[in-house]
Amino acid sequence: MFDTHELGRRPGAMKRLSRSVEAPGSPVLGIDGVIGVPEGAPVELDLRLESVMEGVLVTGTARATAEGECVRCLEPLTVEVDADFQEMFSYPDADDRGRSSAAEPADDAEDDEDRFFLEDGLFDLEAMLRDAVVLALPMQPVCSEDCAGLCSECGIRLDENPGHHHDAVDIRWAALQGLAETVQDGEKDNMGGAEPGVDEKQEK
| Whole-structure pTM value | 0.66
Q: Cβ neighbours of residue 22 under 8 Å, at least 6 residues apart?
A: 39, 40, 41, 42, 43
Averaged pLDDT score across all residues of the chain: 79
Q: Name the β-bridge partners of 123.
A: 2
pLDDT band at 187 (very low <50, low <70, confident <90, very high): low
168-189 mean pLDDT: 62
How far, in Å, CA of 59 to CA of 49, rounded? 7
pLDDT single digits (tens) 64-121: 999 999 999 999 999 999 999 999 999 887 655 444 334 455 455 445 567 888 888 8
How far, in Å, CA of 179 to CA of 60, rounded? 70
